[in-house]
Amino acid sequence: MRQDIYIEDLKSFVGKAVTLRGWLYTKRSSGKIQFLELRDGTGICQCVVMKNQVDEATFAAYDKLTQESAFAATGVVQEAAKAPGGYELFTKSIEIISIAQEYPISPKEHGVEFLMGNRHLWLRSSRQHAIQKVRHEVVHAIRDFFDERGFNLLDAPILTPNAAEGTSTLFELDYFDEGKAYLTQSGQLYGEAGAMALGKVYVFGPTFRAEKSKTRRHLTEFWMVEPEVAFMDLEGDMQLAEEFIEYIVQRVLKNRQNELKVLERDVSKLERIKAPFPKLHYDEAAQILKEYWSSMNEDEKKERFASGHKEFIYGDDFGAPDEAVISGKFEKPVMVHHYPAAVKALYMKRDPKEPDKALAMDMLAPEGYGEIIGGSQREDDYETLLGRIKEHNLPVDAFEWYLDLRKYGSVPHAGFGLGVERTVAWICGIEHVRETIPFPRTISRIWP
């Protein structure tokens, strides 16, 4: 058995006899005419069964088929403007493949904990289906963007001997006689080795952070794409990032209008996502926050504190509420650059003209979605980088291979990392990143 015709292809089969296979979504009957909605993963097709046109077994299937029962329907495809998808199947025969037990997820409202516990089934519902289709489009666009520009895919290891992004969020495991190993937090360090070998590369894979925070944008396992380019500085990095985001968003708009409609996304907000994006020095972003707080009276401030928004002090990193204030000033993603070096990763190069600032940038998505990209120009001087590793009390021997990149033909280079789940959440306009990944992993969830 092989499925040859899927619901999404029905427009090429109008007037022809086909067999569709799938699962029962919903059904209704007026006695002599039955309507069975068949879902096959590519769409939903209404199968119309008329009592006087079919044999008894086919007409009787209606009563047996429960929600999510599997069946095959054979009939003739016809246009039907009012039917979901625009086509229906004038059904001649139905073959039952399996009868589903009482399905736990009914069309009524369920709590999110219940749905997450049934994630393996929840994925079948139309909203989750739409989100996964958008995710697929985003991933496809990511690959096309870099492939079209001559980047080489570089698969970085997931088991690593050292931290990449600070030691507080490391997942640690015992690695035979070699001591401790860690799940990768970022493939960047390997991407840098790749850039020195291949010029421009992108690492794309799952990354892990033992994030103790329970927020709507943190997962413990998430997918990140990380381009890394030799002979690129911070400015080139920001340009690449804005072209990249425009490409992804416009591609989803082009190919996934139906899914965005299911998600009730205001697409006019996405249509504006065209490069160039606004770019702010950290000092300018800090000024926005300073004005924000100084425009408030004591009562208003107390209200903000109660909601968890801490008053910004120059030199701090931005928290999620700070990012929302900054990005709230713009309709496009905004890039903040030149963060204080003290709040950023040790591998970032400092600006010789402002030695307390890192040549770093974050891209903040509009509509309060916050940071979707973090990137920087990398420290390319051997002694400086060695000094930083020591300052951070990190084991120099674990970083020896990384330091080698500065010993043998060091060049200026830069890159960034884009979080797939945060990007999909923003494009879909959904509240929480946990719905953007098929099986989310958070501090309190590792099942199913």
Residue numbers at the binding site for ligand 4AD (CB under 6 A): 164-165, 186, 188, 209, 211, 218-219, 222, 224, 226, 371-376, 415-417, 419, 421-422, 433
Which residues between 348 and 407 bind Mg ion (CB under 5 A)? 374
From the list Mg ion, ligand 4AD, none, pick the one residue 263 interacts with, judged by a Cβ distance below 5 to 8 Å according to partner type.
none
From the list ligand 4AD, Mg ion, none, pick the one residue 209 interacts with, judged by a Cβ distance below 5 to 8 Å according to partner type.
ligand 4AD
Name the residue nearer to ligand 4AD (CB basis): 60 or 343: 343
Name the residue nearer to Mg ion (CB basis): 128 or 436: 436
Burial letters for 223-243: b for 16+ Cβ neighbours within 10 Å, e otherwise? Answer: bbbbbbbbebebeebbbbbbe
Name the residue nearer to ligand 4AD (CB basis): 87 or 145: 145
From the list Mg ion, ligand 4AD, none, pick the one residue 417 interacts with, judged by a Cβ distance below 5 to 8 Å according to partner type.
ligand 4AD
From the list Mg ion, ligand 4AD, none, pick the one residue 211 interacts with, judged by a Cβ distance below 5 to 8 Å according to partner type.
ligand 4AD
77, 243, 444 from 145: Cα distances, Å = 37, 9, 35
Beta carbon of residue 166, minimum distance to Mg ion (angstroms, whole number):
10
Beta carbon of residue 238, minimum distance to ligand 4AD (angstroms, whole number):
12
Name the residue nearer to ligand 4AD (CB basis): 166 or 276: 166
Beta carbon of residue 39, minimum distance to ligand 4AD (angstroms, whole number):
30
Name the residue nearer to ligand 4AD (CB basis): 58 or 188: 188
Half-sphere exposure in the Cβ direction for 295 (13 Å, CA): 7
Question: Which two three-digit tokens encode residue 294?
Answer: 């100084």
From the list Mg ion, ligand 4AD, none, pick the one residue 322 interacts with, judged by a Cβ distance below 5 to 8 Å according to partner type.
none
From the list ligand 4AD, Mg ion, none, pick the one residue 202 interacts with, judged by a Cβ distance below 5 to 8 Å according to partner type.
none
| Residue 417 in contact with Mg ion, rule: CB under 5 A | no
Beta carbon of residue 418, minimum distance to Mg ion (angstroms, whole number):
11
Q: Which residues contact 266 (CB under 8 A, 6 or more apart)?
A: 429
Beta carbon of residue 232, minimum distance to ligand 4AD (angstroms, whole number):
12
Beta carbon of residue 300, minimum distance to ligand 4AD (angstroms, whole number):
30
As a whole number of angstroms, the distance between CA 93 and CA 73 comes to 6
Beta carbon of residue 365, minimum distance to ligand 4AD (angstroms, whole number):
9
Binding positions for Mg ion, rule: CB under 5 A: 374
